[in-house]
Chain A
């Protein structure tokens, strides 16, 4: 009983995950760490875990220049704009695409799983991906915002 509208639930999860991703990316700018540096890394005292030479490309885009963190913040902002949605985006039908969201969220999972602060954002984005996938599989479609609006006195 009770029919869960998966995409409206997924939207809330996606918003939460994206906000987390932006916040995580922001802190990632100041405390830069490659999440997977424990694979083959050496622990120095002091100095912490040193990633192996094989991870050099990741170190370059996360620790040397925080590219991944910046990208993750930007993606989070884009997702938020889509999910809320921003009034300017509302006109385009593409913002209602569940598939596009799923693609963006998968990208968010991969970006966030790379750096230290992003783990939870990645897991939560994965939850959102699963929910959107469920919505797509059950043939749900997002209605235009006009039809999607609650009616006065319905509550």
Chain B
């Protein structure tokens, strides 16, 4: 991807600022921890151990910071609430990225801390400054025991969190990461037992926290860093309570392309378009929650998700609903083949089959949903022009957004939004039959032909039959033969630079956005969902084309 490590970390102002602040803070705290130990006269006894004790105290303090930070990006509900207010300050959507940075830093400082302590304890044993052996400190005292346990937990959590393992078996990652509970317990109790003291024996007392701060001179960092842990625990409890509220799977629709649409009614569930939720089917798995994008608009009387059968959970769900992969494969084939038949017998590709419990022997399973959780597309209405780009299955959040825009348009409450460019890059459009139906509805409802423009790019290789089909059916027809939309399908990959260039020049010449004069800055927000290679290309195009009159912004969703 053309750029090396240095350019990525240091040449991007935002990343540079993060690196300076984040690692600067770490080094600063390490230095403080070192200095305050080295200059503490009360701890002169310990200071005879020299560098190793200074390093271990410094690294310990840094680890306390990381232990406090590591849970912050995982406070999903709190992030959802504060995100819209703080978008200018930090990209809250990058929460998992931040979580990983803290984890990396934690691994490094754990190495420093542990190494230093291995030196400390062997020197304690040799000099007998405390009448103990190294192994007694390692394996019989709270600090040593919790430390070794935390290292073992880290080994398991870090290795199963590797991208490869997550892809092969998400469950292994998901379950192992709950060891975090014990890790955090270990972290909060790591410094108990009056380990850092100026007295010969630990000065333990009978009331909480069971040591006197007169002689026990640790940094007492647990008093501060325990709060994120408590809040996180509370949030998990709250999520459980919320998930237990009345939820009913009211309808299951099977689209010819094989996507299952679950319509769920849950009156207590409030969301904005572009958000996602966690879905649980207790019958299939009691503990697993799977993320799905919400495809209904808040105005709809139900919450819907579209699920393609691609993984083991979704396959199992398909089997449970009586539409296993074999049935779907047949339907998809029929849908792909269905071009020619479509218009003859008035059967469009968007037709779906409802799984009706009254008619078949299938009962609808119990479901639970948790959420909603944030996504950048919430703030679409703050822009004059919104460019929505979905690639492949990444198109799902835009179903909700487009529907929502359509509802708002009907009510005449569009905010500052004047135009919407919708770009869908996809390999084979027919497999997204359900989405086409939705697009067709939205397109048909447009009173102003300039408000919504739909651009579909088909990147698939086209065989001869298909080519002739297009050639024969396209000429003079009102609708595109592939998508049945009025907008024509384009073939090949989109050239982002020219697309943005065109938007820019159209805005500057005043033709594009009605009523906007050129002295005002026009905001064009891009919302992208899809693979990161594409994201980089688009982001670059937005940066290149930004100037005094037109400001392009870019936001990406993560899955």
Q: Is A45 an interface residue (CB 8 A)?
A: yes
21 sample A-B contacts, Cβ–Cβ < 8 Å, listed by A number? A1-B171, A1-B313, A2-B169, A2-B170, A3-B169, A4-B168, A4-B169, A5-B168, A8-B164, A12-B165, A17-B155, A27-B115, A48-B122, A48-B125, A49-B133, A116-B122, A117-B118, A120-B148, A153-B531, A153-B533, A155-B531
Do A2 and B172 form a contact, CB below 8 Å, given A45-B128, A116-B122?
Answer: yes
Q: Are A124 and B155 in contact (CB under 8 A)?
A: yes
Q: Residue-by-residue, is A30-42 near B (CB-CB < 8 Å gives 1, otherwise 0)?
A: 0101010010000
Given A1-B316, A153-B531: A116 in contact with B118 (beta carbons within 8 A): yes
Which residues of the other chain, B, contact A13 by a CB distance below 8 angstroms? 155, 159
| Complex CA distance for A16 and B159, rounded to whole angstroms | 8
Q: How far is the CA of A13 from the CA of B133 in the complex (A)?
A: 30
Are B168 and A8 in contact, CB atoms less than 8 angstroms apart? yes
Contact residues in A for B288 (Cβ distance below 8 Å): 1
- Asked whether any CB of chain A lies closer than 8 Å to the CB of B135, the reply is yes
**Contacting residues, chain B, for A4 (C-beta < 8 A):** 165, 168-169, 171-172
* Complex contact A1–B159 (CB within 8 A): no
Number of A-B contacts (CB under 8 A): 93
Interface membership of B442, Cβ < 8 A: no
Question: Is B223 part of the binding interface, using a Cβ–Cβ cutoff of 8 Å?
Answer: no
- Which residues A92-123 have CB closer than 8 A to chain B? 116-117, 119-120, 123
- Residues of B at the A interface (CB closer than 8 Å) are 111, 115, 118-119, 122-123, 125-128, 131, 133-135, 138, 148, 151-152, 155-156, 158-160, 162-165, 167-172, 284-285, 288, 312-313, 316, 531-533
Hey, which chain A residues are within 8 Å of B171, CB to CB? 1-2, 4
Asked if B155 contacts A127 (CB within 8 A), the reply is yes
- Residue A43, interface by CB 8 Å: yes
Q: Is the CB of B111 within 8 A of A23?
A: yes
Give A1-29 as 1s and 0s: 1 = Cβ < 8 Å from B's Cβ atoms: 11111001100110011000001000100
Question: Complex formed: what's the CA distance from A49 to B121 in Å?
Answer: 12
* Apart from A48-B125, A155-B531: 12 A-B pairs, beta carbons within 8 A: A1-B171, A4-B172, A5-B169, A16-B159, A27-B118, A31-B118, A35-B135, A38-B135, A43-B133, A49-B134, A120-B151, A124-B155
Please give the residue numbers on chain A whose beta carbons come within 8 Å of chain B beta carbons, in ascending order. Answer: 1-5, 8-9, 12-13, 16-17, 23, 27, 31, 33, 35, 38, 43-49, 116-117, 119-120, 123-124, 127, 150, 153, 155
Q: How far is the CB of B330 from chain A (nearest CB, A)?
A: 24
A92 to B138, CA, bound (A): 42
CB nearest to B148 among chain A residues: A120
A117 surroundings in chain B (CB, below 8 A): 118
Question: B521 to nearest A CB, angstroms?
Answer: 36
Does B128 lie within 8 Å of A12, measured CB to CB?
A: no
- In the complex, A116→B170 CA distance in Å? 37
Contacts of A2 in B (CB 8 A): 168-172, 312
- CB closest residue in chain B, given A127: B155
| CB-CB nearest in chain B for A28 | B118
Measured CB to CB, the nearest residue on chain B to A33 is: B122
Closest-CB distance, A115 to chain B (whole angstroms): 11
Q: A12-B162, A16-B158 are in contact. Are A27 and B119 (CB under 8 A)?
A: yes
| Residues of A close to B125: CB separation below 8 A | 48-49
| Minimum distance in angstroms from B139 CB to a CB of chain A | 9
Instruction: Give Cα A48–Cα B127 distance, bound, in whole angstroms.
Output: 7
Most chain A C-beta atoms within 10 Å of own C-beta, residue among B115, B135, B156: B135
Q: Once the chains bind, are A12 and B159 in contact (CB under 8 Å)?
A: yes
Nearest first, the 7 A-B pairs at minimum CB distance are A2-B171, A12-B159, A2-B169, A4-B169, A48-B125, A45-B128, A48-B126
Which residues from A are CB-within-8-Å of B115? 23, 27
Query: Who on chain B is nearest to A30 by CB?
Result: B119
Which residue of B has the minimal Cβ distance to A155? B531
With known contacts A23-B111, A33-B134, A117-B118, A46–B127 Cβ distance under 8 A: yes
Looking at the complex, which one of B131, B151, B164, B284 makes contact with A45 (CB distance below 8 Å)?
Answer: B131
Hey, which chain B residues are within 8 Å of A9, CB to CB? 159-160, 165, 172
A123 touches B316 (CB 8 A): no
**Complex CA distance for A33 and B532, rounded to whole angstroms:** 50
Residue of B nearest to A31 (CB): B122
The complex places the Cα of A120 from the Cα of B150 at a distance, in Å, of 11
- The residue on B at minimum CB distance from A26 is B115
**Structural contact, B126 and A47, CB atoms closer than 8 A:** yes
CA distance A82 to B111 in the complex (A): 24
User: Are B128 and A48 in contact, CB atoms less than 8 angstroms apart?
Assistant: yes
Q: Write out the residue numbers on chain B whose beta carbons fall within 8 Å of the beta carbon of A127.
A: 155-156
Say whether B119 contacts A31, CB under 8 Å.
Answer: yes
Cβ of A16: which chain B residues have Cβ within 8 Å of it?
155, 158-159
Q: What is the CA–CA distance of A54 and B285 in the complex, to the nearest angstrom?
A: 56
User: From A47, which residue of chain B is reached at the shortest CB distance?
Assistant: B126
Contact A1 B160 (CB under 8 A): no
- B451 to chain A minimum Cβ distance, whole angstroms, is 33
Query: Once bound together, how far apart are the Cα atoms of A155 and B531, in whole Å?
Result: 7
Minimum distance in angstroms from B222 CB to a CB of chain A: 23
Please name the residue on chain A nearest to B151 by beta carbon.
Answer: A120
When distances are taken between beta carbons in the complex, the residues of chain A under 8 Å from B532 are 155
Say whether A116 contacts B165, CB under 8 Å: no
For A8, the closest partner residue in chain B by CB is B164
Q: CB-nearest residue of chain B relative to A117?
A: B118
A3: chain B residues at CB < 8 Å are: 168-169, 312
Complex interface: chain B residues within 8 A of A45 (CB) = 128, 131
B296 nearest CB across to chain A (Å): 27
**Which of A1, A8, A46 contacts B126, CB < 8 Å?**
A46
CB distance from A12 to the nearest CB of B (A): 4
Residue ID in chain A nearest B171 by CB atoms: A2
Give Cα distance in the complex from A153 to B155, angstroms.
29
Enumerate chain B residues within 8 angstroms of A49, measured Cβ to Cβ: 125, 133-134
Q: Residues of B contacting A31 with CB < 8 Å?
A: 118-119, 122-123
Nearest chain A residue, comparing its CB with the CB of B170: A2
Verify B155–A8 contact, CB threshold 8 A.
no
CA distance in complex: A17, B165 (Å): 17
| B43 nearest CB across to chain A (Å) | 20
